[in-house]
């Protein structure tokens, strides 16, 4: 990451922090204030999700701490980060927060994506949306808080992850067929959506932007329109047919 962001030159500040720990997170905010003078934008993207296709059930010995890890990282750490950042955000005349979550919070471990979304991860993501609304109220009017809820994204829950590689080709196809746009999303598309929420969405707060290629809407098609049973009478009214 340090190489990707050009190292600690210019305005870059790279610190290794366990965001599950309030003291370390407070230290991060103190370093931000000392180095940069304040904070205007928070992308709250910390998470940890175990894929059933990879981890299996929580009853396995290797997964003894997996549920707690998913909750601590995906939900509680987001809360810690926001709480510690809030004093700095309040000093900004126009601050923006973007919570990054998953459609797992809507669909849980169901359908084709049940191989990728674990129960704890899904429950934690359902909680993120509640925090988004609470924080939008808490931050108004100078702090906008919105959420981007992601579907199958490359290097996240799609191609480029270990779990996706474990899926059979038919299982991958089923996931894509359940997505209305018939493909996974890219990190570049996510970045553009986040940039929109930060830079252009001046009249949006407490909003959840679902970016899933239509996965949640997939799997069902509108029903064909039936012929109907009503007939027009001679006066232009309607006559109901009784069976």
Catalytic residue (one of 117, 121, 135, 215): 121
pLDDT value of position 231: 84
Residue 2: inside a domain = no
Range of the domain at 32: 22-221
Q: pLDDT by residue (tens digit) across 113-149?
A: 999 999 999 999 999 999 999 999 999 999 999 999 9
Structure tokens at 123: 């429950």
Q: Please provide the DSSP assignment of 5-26 as one string.
A: TTSS-TT-------TTSHHHHH
Residue 9: inside a domain = no
Q: Contact 148/190 with Cβ under 8 angstroms?
A: yes
Q: Work out the pLDDT band at 235, boundaries 50, 70, 90.
A: low
Q: Within a 10 A sphere around the Cβ of 205, how many other Cβ atoms?
A: 21
Q: Is 121 a catalytic residue?
A: yes
Q: Contact 151/212 with Cβ under 8 angstroms?
A: yes
User: What's the number of domains the chain is made of?
Assistant: 1
Percent of the chain with pLDDT over 70: 92
More confident residue, 240 or 62: 62
Residue 52: inside a domain = yes
- Per-residue pLDDT averaged across 202-231, rounded? 94
| CA-to-CA separations, 86 to 81, 129, 140, 144, 215, in angstroms, rounded | 8, 18, 12, 12, 34
Residue 234: inside a domain = no
Q: pLDDT by residue (tens digit) across 183-206?
A: 999 999 999 999 999 999 999 999
Q: Is 80 exceeded by the pLDDT of residue 3? A: no
Backbone angles phi, psi at 234, to 5 degrees: -70, -25
Structure tokens at 194: 């986040």
pLDDT value of position 241: 56
Residue 118: inside a domain = yes
Residue 241: inside a domain = no
- Per-residue pLDDT averaged across 56-68, rounded? 90
Residue 70: inside a domain = yes
pLDDT value of position 13: 87
Instruction: Assign residue 127 the CATH number of its domain.
Output: 3.40.50.720
């Amino acid at each position: 990451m340090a190489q990707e962001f050009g190292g600690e030159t210019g305005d870059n500040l790279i610190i290794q922090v366990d965001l599950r720990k309030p003291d370390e997170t407070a230290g991060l905010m103190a370093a931000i204030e000392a180095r940069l003078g304040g904070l205007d934008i928070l992308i709250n993207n910390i998470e940890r999700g175990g894929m059933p296709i990879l981890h299996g059930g929580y009853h396995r010995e290797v997964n003894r701490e997996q549920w707690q890890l998913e909750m601590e990282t995906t939900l509680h750490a987001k809360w810690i980060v926001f709480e510690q950042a809030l004093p700095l955000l309040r000093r900004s005349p126009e601050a923006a927060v973007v919570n990054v979550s998953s459609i797992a919070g809507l669909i849980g471990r169901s359908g084709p994506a049940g191989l990728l979304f674990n129960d704890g991860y899904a429950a934690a993501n359902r909680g993120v949306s509640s925090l988004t609304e609470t924080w939008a109220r808490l931050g108004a009017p100078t702090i906008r808080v919105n959420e981007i809820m992601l579907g199958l994204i490359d290097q996240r829950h799609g191609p480029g992850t270990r779990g996706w590689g474990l899926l059979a080709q038919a299982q991958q196809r089923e996931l894509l067929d359940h997505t209305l746009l018939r493909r996974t999303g890219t990190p570049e598309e996510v970045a553009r959506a986040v940039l929109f929420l930060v830079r252009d969405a001046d009249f949006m707060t407490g909003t959840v932007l679902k970016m899933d290629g239509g996965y949640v809407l997939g799997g069902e098609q509108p029903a064909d329109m039936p012929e109907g049973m009503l007939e027009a009478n001679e006066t232009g009214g309607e006559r109901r047919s009784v069976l």
